[in-house]
Amino acid sequence: MPLFDKKDKSRYNTFSRRSLMMGVGIGGVFTVLAGRLYQLQIRDGEQYMTEAEDNRVSERVVPPPRGRIMDRFGVELANSRRNYRVMIVAEQAKQGVKEALDAVGKVILLTDQQKKKVMRDIAVNKKFVPVPVAENLSWEEFSRVNLHLPYLPGIQPEVGETRAYPFGKELVHVLGYVASVSQADKKTDNDPMLSLPGYRIGKRGIEKQFDQEVRGEAGASRVEVNAYGRVIRELGNTPGVSGQDVWLTIDHEVQSFADARLGEESAACVVMDVNNGDVIAFSSTPGFDPNLFNIGLSGEQWRSLTQNDHKPLLNKVMGGTYPPGSTFKPVVALAAIEAGIATPDFHVGCNGRYVFGGHEFHCWQKKGHGSQDVVSALKNSCDVFFYETARRVGIDRIEEAARKLGMGAITGIELPGERGGLIPSREWKKKTYRSAWQQGDTLSVAIGQGYVTATPLQLVQQVARIASGRAVTPRLVHQVGGRVMTRGTVGKLDFSEDALMTVREGLRRVTNEPGGTAFPWRITDPGFEMAGKTGTAQVRVFTREEHARGLTKNEHLDWKLRDHALFTAFAPVINPKYAIVSIMEHGASIPHPHVQMARDILLFTQKRDPSGMRAAYPMTAASAASGATIKGGG
């Protein structure tokens, strides 16, 4: 009898085939696994080892100290100070973030606005990432938090660094301020430091213009983290490169004196070296405390700044444009002399009014000044003389003279947001108003009214060029780090020396001869005398009826309806060294307070001349090697 029948033999063959197929399949799987293991451990092992190490070790950005901003004598105008702050770690707040904030609010003052910001920051960060709750705490507040720390789960006190402005609102329109990074900032700047909690960058002024240099280069901290990204320990630390120091041309003593003299008036004043363009003082009042923007403004504080009719946020020196009024008359005088019209024999009779084209143009002196030449017209600020002179000269030559003095264009000072003012021309009016230039337009320009506007910074450049005869431009920054800022060669103005001397003589008489419009407020100290030009800029048009019945005095009008008051000057009269411009918005009055302010500031500046004082600015390697000392002030 056979061992297997046919049926059993068939079953045996089927089993054998299936076993073989299963064996082949399992062998294939093991082959694939072996190949994969070979790939992971042998061929790509080094790569995956590196990636695993990268997951274990995290490199984090460490911000460096921000560079200082200093005046010409090394006085620190912006620096860093300790920042006592409180952080919260959401996952450690056992009773909840809201409850933790309420608990902190019982120890230090926390506004609803601060609490809402913390909740927003926690929502966009991981729960183990510390989020700022309050910064720039006083030592007393910081001590209270530490004292109650056992009862404040999730709260972490920290000591860091923050920007500080020791002199508050002084120089705020030069320095600017730092503030929190916005989403728009992150889109235009890919610096990883901008993603750090609480990091701040320059928003205005020098802080913004030189933010990259002052910011420095970030350091790095290598830390070991677990699978959730939580720090276990620090493995190493590479310090960053501190930001570069910026040395300004400003003299803080003069700046402080100017701010004190301007007080809380809506005013601007700028002092400039006529020989090299160094800006000695740059004052726009009222100001505001830049430390508030670093700490964080409340809604009430922001409204008080934006709704103030004295415009504390506006940098009036370079961002405010005004009709220059009679301070523009030296420009017309130069154009007339160069054109051969205002010769020594040229006189215009003034009876208080000038009739042209059926319209009356009035002189500020209702009874008139009588016969005037160019020097006496400058001294007395005779409007009628300049009406007739400008009519003969024409707008084209007036525009040319104004542009030679730097009017109608930005000066190029190292601050963002400068405005260029306006010097009108035939082409400009045709393009803007689609109408031809009229001679009546020229008469308005003759006395600095009509279409012409300028910033105080442009006006100080104008008077500095007249005083020096050179095409100087204002500058604020002397040195950044070890790099002295270069300046181009200052060439001579394209005016004859006779024309410049004639205009200077007229300006000298304004302040130093009886009858001059600024004579009562002259500098009487021998050797410090100034030459200057007063100006009044109308802010509204007077009707013929108002002229007929007599104009209401400025002091009897609402503040916003009063004329602006301007004064430009240089000193000393012999070998000029400093130029000054002051403007008081709606401040035109008989006592001429703006002239008195400028006089006091200009005298203080001269008496503080650094020629015999300690050296200004740091010594560069080149100057140290040659034994030279860099001095400020010209």
> pLDDT, tens digit, for every residue of 153-200?
888 888 878 899 999 999 999 999 998 888 888 888 888 888 777 788
Q: Residue 377: pLDDT band by 50, 70, 90 thresholds?
A: very high
pLDDT of 6: 59
- Using one digit for the tens of pLDDT, what is the confidence trace for 409-427? 999 999 999 999 999 999 9
CB 122 within 8 A of CB 96: no
Residue 552 predicted with pLDDT over 70: no
Chain position carrying tokens 């093991």: 30
Q: Residue 83: pLDDT band by 50, 70, 90 thresholds?
A: confident
Percent of the chain residues topping a pLDDT of 70: 84
pLDDT of 632: 33
pTM of the model: 0.81
- E strand or H helix at 593, and its extent? helix 593-607
pLDDT of 262: 94
Whether 623 is catalytic: no
pLDDT of 623: 40
Which residue in the list 242, 266, 283, 326 is annotated as catalytic? 326
The residue type of 74 is: G
Q: Which domains does the chain have, with CATH numbers?
A: 60-248 (3.90.1310.10), 252-284+315-608 (3.40.710.10)
Q: What is the mean pLDDT of residues 469-483?
A: 95
Q: What is the mean pLDDT of residues 124-129?
A: 75
The residue type of 51 is: E
pLDDT of 607: 93
Q: Residue 223: pLDDT band by 50, 70, 90 thresholds?
A: low
- Using one digit for the tens of pLDDT, what is the confidence trace for 260-317? 999 999 999 999 999 999 999 999 999 999 988 877 777 788 888 888 889 999 999 9
Q: 343 Cβ partners below 8 Å, 6+ apart?
A: 337
The residue among 551 and 326 whose pLDDT is bigger is: 326
β-pairing, 69-70 vs 246-248, is parallel
β-pairing, 76-88 vs 155-164, is antiparallel
Nearest-angstrom CA–CA distance, 418 and 349: 41
What string of DSSP letters covers 296-341? ---HHHHHHHHS-TT-TTS-HHHH--B--GGGGHHHHHHHHHHTT-
Tell whether the torsion through CA atoms of 580, 584, 590 and 591 is positive or negative.
negative
pLDDT of 634: 34
Strand partners, 450: none
Residue 396 Cα to chain centre, angstroms: 34
Residue 221 predicted with pLDDT over 80: no
Nearest-angstrom CA–CA distance, 283 and 255: 7
Chain position carrying tokens 């407020």: 521
Q: Residue 520: pLDDT band by 50, 70, 90 thresholds?
A: very high
Burial of 485 (0-12, 13-18, 19+ CB in 10 A): middle
What string of DSSP letters covers 245-293? PEEES--HHHHHHHHHHHTTSSEEEEEEETTT-BEEEEEEES---THHH
